[in-house]
Structure 1
Amino acid sequence: MTAATATTADTYRPALHYAARNTWLNDPNGLIFHDGVYHLYYQNNPLDNVWGNMSWGHATSPDLVTWTEHPVAIVCDEEEDIFSGSIVFDRSNTSGFGTASAPPLVAVYTSAFKTGSAHDGLQAQSLAYSRDGGYTWTKHTANPVLNRGSAEFRDPKIIRYDGGAGSYWVMVAVEATDFQVVLYKSHDLKSWEPLSTFGPANATGGVWECPDLFPLPLDGDPENLRWVLTVNLNPGGPNNGSAGQYFIGDFDGTTFTSATTVTEGLQDPARLGEYQWLDWGRDYYAAVSFTDAPNNRRLMIAWMNNWEYANHIPTAPWRSPMTLAREISLHTIDGQPRLIQTATGDFTALSSAGPSFTLQELELSDCTRVLDGAAGTVQRIDITVTPENAEEFGLILRGNGAHGTRVGLRPSQNTIHVDRRTSGNTNFHEAFPSIDTAPIRPVNGSYQLTIYVDHCSVEIFAQNGQVTITELIFPTPTSTDVAVYAIGGTATINSLDITQYA
């Protein structure tokens, strides 16, 4: 369960984000809202805090903020590791694993078969089912149910398609090293037939993993649905290492057709910045969405880490948190459909009645100013800034004077960046100190940022969620200042509100 107060031995345990009690986690799996509860399953090493012994961990939440950890849900054995996958509520008991009056939850996961098993070295798709709402699971005796004879076939996301082509289950998985999304259909979750493939396209700098496919109304119009295909890749992100990209188009029940592809085939390195990224930071990977979220909301969680240094981050006894849950919507931006992301969850139990620090109309001229009364370790920061002639301006978070995590905007370059070279403990891996950059443009002449600061992370939602940047940080406990700055000219902070979380 997440802890709001870090101990000396557990300095970086998050207050707002989920982390396992004393083990390793990576990809979120099987996200589903069922019987009034959000279920988060995830890649878990139940025996250590580094990658290995892959099984499915399990946590639940009523509000997407307060999480309760449960015993390991689906455990690896001498035959297989349990790699990523998804869960559906089989309402009509198409699988036969439950009854008409008590339909089951069905998990579809990748069996990574071990040396000496009947499928030595292969990855194939298998089933497990739960008859108690997701707390205990039984593996299907006839696993695997879909085997392509491939060592890189993984990460099935199951959706229910109801459209012009009929009504059936669709599996969206990947051939990771071929940069291909592969689609299959089934009426019972056991027997699968191929539909189509998508890719290679856009970013192909690393293996493709953890796909998702879902419809969203464009600009809130339910009569104008578009389909979104997300694909995570490692490495090959816009700022190195792990990342997630998305395509927008149409799915007719057989084929996904992208309307936003920039590069067919293998990527053009010179065009990396033109691709559509779920997040521009270093620490947002394996993002997938919840099944059956209330009110047809599309909610997504990702693993907050990067494979470049994932096993080395300085946390103990746990290692790796999840991101905040995000609500995903689709809007027309500059004439093109683009995803908008906002943090979601009930934070009221963790905060006071309102902002604990606020200011308006502060002019900065080539200076850095530490804000008295703004210090804290777990915060939400809302800021609107209008540039005058400053070359760069922004904030320094979890700081000590001029040292800390710098979030800067450079209007002449149309960029926002996070500089964590002096963010605290950065020497545990050579790839960690970084300056990570994303494109951004002013809206009505100003820049608006909402930033969630936790004991080991910053999540930035810029221009009301048009641009997001997620970064791990490991500041010293005494680095709690918030500072604002301008370089090479003047900028005006129109408003700044900080909510402290307990």
Structure 2
Amino acid sequence: MAAQEDGATQAATPQWRPELHYTPHKYWMNDPNGPVFYNGVYHIFYQYNPMASEWGNMSWGHATSTDLLHWQEHAVAMPFSHDRDIFSGSVVVDRNNTSGLGTADKPALVALYTSVFKEGSSHSAGIQAQSLAYSLDGGFTWQAYHKDPVLTLSPDSMHFRDPAVSWYEPGHYWVMTTVVADAPVVKLYRSDNLIDWTFLSDFGPAGFTRPGMLWEMPSLFPLPLDGDASRQKWVMMIGVNPWSIAGGSGTTYFVGSFDGRTFHAENLPPDGSDPAAYDWADHGADHYAAILFSGGPAATPLTIGWMNNWDYANTVPTEPWKGQMTLPMTLGLKTINNRPRLCFAPDAHYTALVASRKSYSPGAFQLASGQKVLPDAARGDVLDIHFEIQGNGARSAGLIVRASPDDGTGTRIAYDFDRHTLSVDRSHSGRTDFSPRFSREHIVNMPPARSLSVHVIVDRNSVEVLSLEGSVVITDLIFPPSGADHVIAFAEGGSATFTHLDVTPLMDHGVRD
């Protein structure tokens, strides 16, 4: 959640200020940058306009947390200047002092980020290159490195951006993934000191490029398949805009191998295949620019993304802020339907919060064609929901969340037993008139089954739906009216059994802005 406001700024739409997801007090925010865990504190930096609620004046905003739920906003970490904007990048803890910028006892935090040069700089206007800054006080103040930039393309490019850096343990060196966004191609580099970079290889295009498609925010990381360290795979996660699975911007991924130089993707569909043939981290409209935390306290990778879509990001009806983060999720790689799939799960801090709260759990019940408004114990605009449904002749069944009692307003989460699809329909979720590109329904093909388990995280202006061991995620913004806080169970075309249902209200957790 956002930290409490200072009183000088009053939110015009407090009913949509999220409780569980980070937002700045005011103004524009997009991609997360350099999330890092250091000395017991989680830091997120992010693309920020410190002057307006629209994209521009790109700088790095900054917030910290000890539990990934309560966030404190800080002063702008790296502001734009007369000669450059500060685009996306990453932060690492240089524990072995490979850069020489810190000490063994007090390692430097090192940021690699994209400088976008302006008129009056030593570069042509619009040129993008990778720069370095470092912090010796735990991420609160930053010094630009004297060699600037540390990595350029030859010839110069206006689309060379988004460095993500990690330590490659087998080779004992750093690896950077960047993009030439409009090519589109991922470029890999190595360095022994975070300053001097050597080209390794290119990845892409992977066969599903379309006119105008950009690749952004690439990340490369290893995961054990099904928890078996002897079966390690590598995952390349890439932001795609437009042409995502739900329209506009989204996050795709490739599973394969990495030998320290080249990433090889496995099981690629034939060139020219529809984007639906590829693997997507999220099938909703509002998950983009996902990036991993570095320096994490656990071996399991932790990711966070921008919960928005470039199709309508500038017009979402929130004030005085515009933009928010997804809930941080841990990542795993599991064999689902005979192939490796990236799987998401809420972080332990979130699950501990849910476990500490009282749930509404009615036990199993059957519902013939029709609806059942759940009692007040299941009401709320911030909820955690687990349910399992089994078809007994029903064509479809599920829940409507953030609903009015008459079902005039609500976000519909449904499993179609005939078509074997899971869907989120936000056609009647509240405000939808702010953009014709605000897509209404998002549908995922699922393996044939007569029952399905679903986990739903509901916040004041969003739903995150997870199923199939977290390999299917649908993340969507919604803008419901105040008072639309009911949950409604439904079945259509026959009977369905809700074999399990837990609804946990979280609304009074923390400070409401």
Identify whether the pair has TM-score above 0.5, normalized to the shorter chain.
yes
1:291-311, CA deviations, whole angstroms, 9 ceiling, x for partnerless residues?
A: 121121101001000000001
**Does the residue aligned with 1:384 lie in a helix, a strand or coil?**
strand
Change (3 A) 1:381 1:150: same
Structure 2 residue 256 is the aligned partner of structure 1 residue 249: yes
The one-letter amino acid of 1:209's match is: E
Q: Which of 390, 394, 397 lines up with 2:398 in the alignment?
A: 394
The count of aligned residue pairs is: 495
2:474 equivalent in structure 1? 469
1:184 equivalent in structure 2? 189
Larger mean CA deviation between 315-324 and 408-417 belongs to 408-417
Q: How many angstroms apart in 1 are the aligned matches of 2:165 and 2:433?
A: 40
The one-letter amino acid of 2:456's match is: I
Q: Which of 343, 359, 363 lines up with 1:360 in the alignment?
A: 363
Q: Which of 101, 113, 117 lines up with 1:113 in the alignment?
A: 117
**Does the residue aligned with 1:358 lie in a helix, a strand or coil?**
coil
Structure 2 residue 158 is the aligned partner of structure 1 residue 151: yes
1:436 equivalent in structure 2? 442
Structure 2 residue 396 is the aligned partner of structure 1 residue 369: no
1:32 equivalent in structure 2? 36
Q: How many angstroms apart in 2 are the aligned matches of 1:493 and 1:33?
A: 40
TM-superposed CA distance for 1:442, in Å, is 5.2
Q: How many angstroms apart in 1 are the aligned matches of 2:177 and 2:3?
A: 35
Q: Which of 65, 68, 72 lines up with 1:68 in the alignment?
A: 72
1:287 equivalent in structure 2? 290
1:10-43, CA deviations, whole angstroms, 9 ceiling, x for partnerless residues?
A: 2210001100111211101101111111111111
1:57-99, CA deviations, whole angstroms, 9 ceiling, x for partnerless residues?
A: 1111111111111111111101111000001111222222223
The one-letter amino acid of 2:428's match is: T
Q: How many angstroms apart in 1 are the aligned matches of 2:490 and 2:167?
A: 50
Q: Is the 8 A contact 1:285 1:303 kept in 2?
A: yes
Q: Which of 335, 340, 345 lines up with 2:338 in the alignment?
A: 335
Q: Is the 8 A contact 2:84 2:117 kept in 1?
A: yes
TM-superposed CA distance for 1:187, in Å, is 1.2
Q: Is the 8 A contact 1:397 1:405 kept in 2?
A: yes
Q: How many angstroms apart in 2 are the aligned matches of 1:102 and 1:363?
A: 61
Q: Which of 308, 313, 316 lines up with 1:310 in the alignment?
A: 313
Change (3 A) 1:216 1:314: same
1:346 equivalent in structure 2? 349
**Does the residue aligned with 1:237 lie in a helix, a strand or coil?**
coil
The one-letter amino acid of 1:192's match is: W
Q: How many angstroms apart in 1 are the aligned matches of 2:305 and 2:131?
A: 23
Q: Is the 8 A contact 1:57 1:71 kept in 2?
A: yes
Q: How many angstroms apart in 2 are the aligned matches of 1:76 and 1:7?
A: 25
Q: How many angstroms apart in 2 are the aligned matches of 1:28 and 1:429?
A: 24
1:23 equivalent in structure 2? 27
Structure 2 residue 462 is the aligned partner of structure 1 residue 460: no
Give me the identity figure in percent.
Answer: 45
The one-letter amino acid of 2:250's match is: A
Q: How many angstroms apart in 2 are the aligned matches of 1:323 and 1:447?
A: 24
Q: Which of 42, 46, 51 lines up with 1:42 in the alignment?
A: 46
Q: Which of 402, 409, 412 lines up with 1:406 in the alignment?
A: 412
Q: Mark the runs of 5 or more structure 1 residues left unpaired by the alignment.
A: none
1:401-459, CA deviations, whole angstroms, 9 ceiling, x for partnerless residues?
A: 2231111111221211111111001111111151111122356x411111010000000
Q: How many angstroms apart in 2 are the aligned matches of 1:388 and 1:352?
A: 31
2:134 equivalent in structure 1? 129
TM-superposed CA distance for 1:202, in Å, is 4.5
TM-score by length of 1: 0.95
Q: How many angstroms apart in 2 are the aligned matches of 1:202 and 1:359?
A: 49
TM-superposed CA distance for 1:350, in Å, is 5.8
The one-letter amino acid of 2:401's match is: L
The one-letter amino acid of 1:475's match is: P
Q: How many angstroms apart in 1 are the aligned matches of 2:345 and 2:89?
A: 25
TM-superposed CA distance for 1:117, in Å, is 2.1
TM-superposed CA distance for 1:186, in Å, is 1.1
Q: Which of 488, 499, 502 lines up with 2:504 in the alignment?
A: 499
Q: Which of 222, 226, 232 lines up with 1:225 in the alignment?
A: 232
**Does the residue aligned with 1:360 lie in a helix, a strand or coil?**
coil
TM-superposed CA distance for 1:360, in Å, is 2.1
Q: Is the 8 A contact 2:247 2:439 kept in 1?
A: no
The one-letter amino acid of 1:468's match is: V
Change (3 A) 1:483 1:172: same
**Does the residue aligned with 1:412 lie in a helix, a strand or coil?**
coil
**Does the residue aligned with 1:233 lie in a helix, a strand or coil?**
strand
2:511 equivalent in structure 1? none
TM-superposed CA distance for 1:220, in Å, is 0.7
The one-letter amino acid of 1:160's match is: W
TM-superposed CA distance for 1:221, in Å, is 1.0
Q: How many angstroms apart in 2 are the aligned matches of 1:345 and 1:69?
A: 22
Q: How many angstroms apart in 1 are the aligned matches of 2:235 and 2:180?
A: 19
Q: How many angstroms apart in 2 are the aligned matches of 1:4 and 1:346?
A: 20
Q: Is the 8 A contact 2:3 2:25 kept in 1?
A: no
Q: Which of 419, 424, 430 lines up with 1:424 in the alignment?
A: 430
Larger mean CA deviation between 470-479 and 432-441 belongs to 432-441
Q: How many angstroms apart in 2 are the aligned matches of 1:433 and 1:222?
A: 40
Q: Is the 8 A contact 1:449 1:464 kept in 2?
A: no
1:128-174, CA deviations, whole angstroms, 9 ceiling, x for partnerless residues?
A: 000001111011122111111111010000111121xx321111000
Q: How many angstroms apart in 1 are the aligned matches of 2:453 and 2:281?
A: 19
**Does the residue aligned with 2:243 lie in a helix, a strand or coil?**
coil
TM-score by length of 2: 0.93
Structure 2 residue 61 is the aligned partner of structure 1 residue 57: yes
Q: How many angstroms apart in 2 are the aligned matches of 1:9 and 1:360?
A: 37
1:342-375, CA deviations, whole angstroms, 9 ceiling, x for partnerless residues?
A: 1114247866844431122221111022112222
**Does the residue aligned with 1:11 lie in a helix, a strand or coil?**
helix
Q: Mark the runs of 5 or more structure 2 residues left unpaired by the alignment.
A: 509-513
The one-letter amino acid of 2:139's match is: G
TM-superposed CA distance for 1:101, in Å, is 3.1
2:247 equivalent in structure 1? 240
**Does the residue aligned with 1:214 lie in a helix, a strand or coil?**
strand
TM-superposed CA distance for 1:7, in Å, is 6.9
Q: How many angstroms apart in 2 are the aligned matches of 1:426 and 1:395?
A: 20
TM-superposed CA distance for 1:237, in Å, is 0.8
